[in-house]
Amino acid sequence: MIDVLYFAWVRERIGVPRERVETRAETVADLVAELCAREDRYQAAFADRQSLRVALDQELSSFDAPLAGVREVAFFPPMTGG
């Protein structure tokens, strides 16, 4: 089980800010593929990988990163703070 968080328009497309996901995905990319296979709203959110960022346990990471030991995955658009 892993906590998956969504922010900004990713959250809006998926419809929830966070959820617990039962998965055996080995990488972030595998997890994204699993989610997209479930429902259209995930496909809408993950359609353009270039415009998405991912954090693993609150550290910026990449889609090919392994999920072993990770408790929290977050998906969001490029940041626009400041």
Of 7, 43, 63, 70, which lies in the binding site for other proteins, with binding defined by CB under 8 A? 7
9 binds other proteins (CB under 8 A): yes
Burial 6-40 (b: 16+ CB within 10 A, else e): bbeebbebbeeeeeeeeeebeebbbbbeebbeeee
Which residues in 36-65 contact other proteins (CB under 8 A)?
Answer: 55, 58-60
Q: Which residue, 22 or 80, has its beta carbon nearer to other proteins?
A: 80
- The minimum distance between CB 24 and other proteins, in angstroms, equals 25
H or E element, residue 10: helix 8-14
Sole window of 23-31, 34-42, 62-70, 71-79 interacting with other proteins (rule: CB under 8 A): 71-79
